């Protein structure tokens, strides 16, 4: 049903095909978080890969920075309906993390775990084959704290709440365990092209 008097502002034809349904493009880089920006000290920072409670591998900041690096360029989509085009991220792919740990993905699901006790669940299939990285640089500069620095998950093909800020670990889980927002009404997977925003979306 049309809203009386609403005409809207459509994206240009060139951008329309890149914009998932219900999204609008912004030049800004909005910030959303459940609480204060945590104070993360690089001197004590560690990133831990684990299989349930069992650690598989752990890196200090310097060790992490020495891992093979990948650059990804593309569009990101937030469930609050903004999308940002042509962003450039640099970091370590989850594939390279697993390779450095000398293991294959131990299960079909994972929880990304952050310094502010945030977590979010992502199927392993969405993390592997170059689809996700732990990003430490944005548009050529160290990732700002407000945007999740020093390191955040980047899963750009899912809504951006899955790209957990201030990441400290990735824990593989046997089951798909709901994370912070998933326990509070948001979708378990969050595909923007299917508009999987809330838990009652298909």
Partner 1 sequence: MLTPRIVSVFLRAPLPPGLAGQHLVVRLTAPDGYAAQRSYSIASAPGAMPMELVVEKLEDGEVSPFFHEVVAAGDHIEVRGPLGGHFVWRPADGGPLLLVGGGSGVAPLMAMVRDWYASGAKVPLLLVVSARTWDELAFRDELVALQARAPLLRFVAVTTRDAAHRPGDLVQRLDSAALQRLLTEWGHAPAHVFVCGANRFVEAVTTGLLDAAVPPDRIRTERYGGTG
Q: Which residues bind partner 1 (CB under 8 A)?
A: 1-10, 22, 24, 26, 28-39, 80-81, 116-117, 144, 146-147, 180-181, 183-185, 198
Minimal distance in Å, beta carbon 34 to partner 1? 6
The three-class DSSP label of residue 63 is helix
Torsions phi, psi for 201 (to 5 deg):
-80, 145
Element (H, E) at 96: helix 94-101
Smallest gap from Cβ 112 to partner 1, in A, equals 17
Q: Phi-psi category of 133—alpha, beta or left, where left has phi over 0 and alpha has psi -120 to 50?
A: beta
Provide the minimum distance between the beta carbon of 98 and partner 1 in the complex, in angstroms, as a whole number.
Answer: 31
Helix (H, G, I), strand (E, B) or coil at 86: strand
| Of 25 and 65, CB closest to partner 1 | 25
> Which is nearer to partner 1, 46 or 198 (by Cβ)?
198
- Closest to partner 1 by CB, 58 vs 87, is 87
> Using the 8-state DSSP alphabet, how is residue 185 labeled?
T
Q: Which of 82, 50, 45 is nearest to 160 (CA)?
A: 82
Minimum distance of partner 1 from residue 66's CB (angstroms)? 29
**CB closer to partner 1 out of 71 and 183:** 183
């Amino acid at each position: 049903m049309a809203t009386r008097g609403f005409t809207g502002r459509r994206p240009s034809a060139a951008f329309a095909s890149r914009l998932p349904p219900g999204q609008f493009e912004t030049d800004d880089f909005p910030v959303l978080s459940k609480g204060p920006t945590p104070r993360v000290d690089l001197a004590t920072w560690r990133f831990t890969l684990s299989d349930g409670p069992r650690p598989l591998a752990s890196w200090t900041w310097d060790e992490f920075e020495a891992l093979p690096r990948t650059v990804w360029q593309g569009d990101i989509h937030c469930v609050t309906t903004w999308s940002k085009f042509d962003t450039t991220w640099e970091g370590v792919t989850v594939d390279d993390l697993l390779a450095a740990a000398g293991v294959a993905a131990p299960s079909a699901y994972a929880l990304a775990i952050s310094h502010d006790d945030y977590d979010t669940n992502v199927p392993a299939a969405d993390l592997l084959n170059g689809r996700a990285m732990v990003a430490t640089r944005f548009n050529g500069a160290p990732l700002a704290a407000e945007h999740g620095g020093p390191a955040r998950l980047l899963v750009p093909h899912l809504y951006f709440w899955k790209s957990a800020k201030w990441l400290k670990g990735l824990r593989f889980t046997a089951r798909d365990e709901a994370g912070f927002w998933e326990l509070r009404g948001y979708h378990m997977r969050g595909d923007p092209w299917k508009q999987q925003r809330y838990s009652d979306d298909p």
